[in-house]
């Protein structure tokens, strides 16, 4: 038997076949890689059994889920967020002190619903009343503080509505400091989220009380009604509410890493439902989105030539911290660009707009912010201005 030795030469058809096979393999790998690298789609938010709900990122304000966020509804005891906000503001302004004593009126003592059980004629510190208001949701504490700040609850309500207007709560009207049912007492999920942002942003030290699980006053121990405080370590507030007309309500906030979310659920049919719905929304937001600070307030982003000024350069940046919330894993896909005025002439005031920074994701404009002067630039002398005029002619 004669052995056959493989030829070092191959037929043209075999060579072409191997080349074609290699090309197919390479293309398959490339397409597989492109498919693997493609952005993952964001699923729809969880189904929430509530009349209205709203989920936003605290820093960027991006809305992640919503249903009828501007529907006017009874806010119930969530109203007390505004009461606490105004007490904190009075403390910050030096008008009230935490150790200041408050004499309990008969009106405060007679309040029904949730109570911290203060006694008429007795004196209670502002600090204790705040804890009774935040942790125990005491209607009596709310009225006592309102009367102490403004002289009467009705006068305090005027402060509440004025502050709501300042914050941009356009679908809110308060009639009392407690959330006691009244057809003219209403708010919305969006407005409650705006108020919660203000509570956390403006008074972060006071906000710590919202995470406390219990408070004992007058030998009566009561527990915070926000069940999420026991089941999710990232949750540190905020407030529950219930009336027959409002249903079960919960505004909650959680922070995981550097990302904080605010969830508002209004009109759920049970305590269990509002808790589970709020947890589902928070989990959805953290699972599928991420938040980054793109620019810091007063950070110099660029310097540009300024004409006719007492200096040749003006520094530019943004006037506030700029945050962006995007689908998780897409940070490297962001595209930033700046549009600066082509000719900047003195005088320029500090904070004056000189351009814009635009952030795009997949050709969609997701953030646009003014670029402003970081310092004022005054007009230069007569000679400097004349020289700049000549330079511009030959520019």
Q: Cite the active site residues.
A: 77, 80, 137
DSSP-based three-state secondary structure for 84? helix
Cα–Cα dist 253/239, whole Å: 9
The C-alpha atoms of residue 148 and residue 171 are separated, in whole angstroms, by 27
Contact between 208 and 123 under an 8 Å Cβ cutoff? The reply is: no
Helices assigned H by DSSP within 176-291: 189-202, 204-207, 228-231, 271-288
End-to-end Cα separation, the chain, in angstroms: 91
3-state secondary structure of 125: strand
Q: Which tokens belong to 168?
A: 């941009």
Provide φ and ψ at 381, rounded to 5°.
-70, 175
Q: How far is CA 229 from CA 3, 169, 188, 293, in A?
A: 82, 27, 24, 27
Task: Give me the helices (H) in 203-270, please.
Answer: 204-207, 228-231
CA–CA separation, 83 and 67 (whole Å): 26
Instruction: Show Cβ contacts of residue 115 under 8 Å, excluding neighbours closer than 6 positions.
Output: 136, 138, 139, 140, 141
**Nearest residue to 117 (alpha-carbon basis) of 125, 273, 108, 287:** 108
Instruction: Spell out the alpha helix ranges (H) of the chain.
Output: 12-37, 80-92, 106-110, 126-134, 139-150, 153-167, 189-202, 204-207, 228-231, 271-288, 382-393
State both tokens at 263: 């969830």
Total residues found in the chain within this entry: 395
CB 323 within 8 Å of CB 360: no
Tell me whether strands 344-345 and 300-307 are parallel, antiparallel or unpaired: parallel
């Amino acid at each position: 038997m004669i052995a056959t030795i493989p030829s070092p030469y191959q037929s043209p058809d075999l060579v072409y076949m191997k080349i074609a096979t290699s090309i197919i393999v390479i293309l398959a790998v490339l397409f597989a890689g492109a498919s693997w690298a493609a952005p993952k789609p964001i699923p729809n938010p969880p189904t929430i059994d509530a009349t209205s709900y709203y989920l936003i990122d605290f820093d960027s304000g991006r809305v992640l889920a919503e249903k009828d966020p501007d529907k006017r509804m009874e806010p119930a005891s969530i109203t007390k967020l505004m009461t606490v906000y105004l007490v904190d503001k009075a403390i910050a302004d030096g008008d009230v002190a935490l150790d200041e004593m408050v004499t309990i009126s008969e009106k405060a003592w007679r309040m029904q619903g949730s109570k911290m059980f203060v006694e008429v004629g007795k004196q209670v510190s502002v600090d204790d009343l705040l804890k009774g208001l935040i942790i125990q949701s005491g209607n009596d504490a709310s009225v006592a503080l309102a009367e102490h700040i403004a002289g009467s609850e009705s006068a305090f309500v005027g402060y509440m509505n004025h502050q709501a207007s300042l914050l941009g709560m356009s679908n809110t009207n308060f009639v009392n400091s407690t959330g006691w049912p009244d057809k003219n007492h209403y708010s919305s999920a969006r407005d409650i989220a705006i108020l919660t942002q203000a509570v956390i942003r403006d008074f972060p030290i006071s906000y710590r009380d919202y995470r406390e699980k219990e408070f004992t006053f007058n030998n009566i121990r009561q527990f915070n009604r926000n069940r999420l405080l026991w089941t999710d370590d990232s949750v540190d507030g905020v407030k529950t509410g219930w009336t027959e007309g409002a249903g079960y309500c919960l505004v909650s906030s959680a922070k995981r890493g550097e990302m904080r979310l605010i969830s508002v659920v209004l009109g759920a049919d049970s305590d269990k439902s509002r808790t589970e719905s709020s947890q589902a929304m928070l989990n959805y937001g953290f699972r599928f989105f991420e938040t980054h600070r793109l620019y810091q307030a007063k950070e110099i982003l660029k310097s540009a030539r300024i004409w006719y000024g007492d200096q040749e350069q003006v520094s530019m940046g943004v006037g506030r911290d700029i945050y962006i919330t995007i689908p998780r894993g897409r940070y490297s896909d962001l595209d930033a660009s700046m549009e600066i005025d082509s000719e900047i002439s003195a005088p320029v005031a500090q904070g004056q707009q000189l351009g814009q920074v635009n952030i795009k994701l997949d050709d969609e404009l997701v953030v646009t912010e003014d670029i402003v002067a970081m310092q004022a630039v005054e007009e230069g002398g007569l000679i400097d201005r004349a020289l700049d005029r000549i330079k511009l002619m030959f520019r």
